[in-house]
Amino acid sequence: MAHELHPETWVDQYADYLFNYAVARVSDSEIAKDLVQETFFAGLNSAKNYKGDAAERTWLIAILKRKVIDHYRKINSKKGKAEVRINYNSDTDSEGDWLEEQVADPFSKDGDNTLENEELGLAIQECISKLPKKQSLVFNMKTIQGMSTEDICNELGINPSNLWVMIHRARTALMGCLNQNWF
């Protein structure tokens, strides 16, 4: 059975989602627009390699993640150096985040540096262990376990605004920790 992509629907179905994903990571709407456009072109060029193992949106996000990584590599930033692929398997269609979940791009010409990935994974775990307890808990529930915002809020008795503030603070602290201990 052939797995089909429907590129004619991509702009209508995924452009806003991909743009929001990209702009949250590059903090520049023009760059985000360019990255989404590059993602669509890469998807078209690589459509023959689509095996149907992931949903179309998940497949496009995997390509976009690589584009974001490449963007930071080009500008040689610290954030780009942290954008190392980390092995992560998920059966969900969750968007994930650059630090916590990197989907390997099947179209990448770059080889994996397993040792570096392993060391970065250990550095991330060490930094997570240094977070305040509630931040660590929320961060793990949302970004590592992939729990929904609603489930986390119900379980911890907090509102979505509190959740996102804690996650933002956790990410900021993690980047500070990684900048100190990894770069």
Each residue's pLDDT tens digit, 56-74? 888 898 899 888 888 877 7
Q: Does domain 113-183 have CATH number 1.10.10.10?
A: yes
Give the three-class secondary structure for 44: helix
Neighbours of 160 (CB within 10 A): 11
| 20, two tokens | 């929001």
Does position 150 have pLDDT exceeding 70, yes or no?
yes
Does position 98 have pLDDT exceeding 80, yes or no?
no
| pLDDT tier at 76, thresholds 50, 70, 90 | low
Query: What's the Rg (C-alpha) of the chain?
Result: 17
CB-neighbour burial class of residue 149 (10 A; exposed 0-12, middle 13-18, buried 19+): middle
The vertex-85 CA angle with 21 and 137, nearest 5°, equals 70
Q: How far is CA 28 from CA 4, 21, 156, 165, 173, in A?
A: 32, 12, 33, 21, 22
Which residues touch 17 (CB under 8 Å, ≥6 apart)? 57, 95
Does position 13 have pLDDT exceeding 70, yes or no?
yes
> Alpha helices of 27-105 — where are they, by DSSP H?
29-45, 56-74, 78-82
C-alpha torsion sign, points 67, 55, 99, 97:
positive
Domain ranges of the chain: 1-112, 113-183
**pLDDT for position 180:** 80
**pLDDT for position 40:** 92
Buried b / exposed e along 118-132 (16+ C-beta atoms within 10 A): eebeebbeebbeebe
Does position 99 have pLDDT exceeding 80, yes or no?
no
| pLDDT tier at 124, thresholds 50, 70, 90 | confident
Lowest mean pLDDT among 87-96, 150-159, 161-170: 87-96
| pLDDT tier at 144, thresholds 50, 70, 90 | confident
**pLDDT for position 143:** 78
Does residue 35 contact residue 64 with C-beta atoms inside 8 Å?
yes
Does residue 98 contact residue 25 with C-beta atoms inside 8 Å?
yes
pTM here is: 0.44
- Output 101 or 138, whichever has higher pLDDT: 138
Does residue 22 contact residue 35 with C-beta atoms inside 8 Å?
yes
**pLDDT for position 183:** 59
Per-residue pLDDT, averaged over 91-109, amounts to 39
Lowest mean pLDDT among 41-55, 110-124, 159-173: 110-124
**pLDDT for position 112:** 44
**pLDDT for position 79:** 46
Does residue 179 contact residue 78 with C-beta atoms inside 8 Å?
yes
Does residue 152 contact residue 163 with C-beta atoms inside 8 Å?
yes
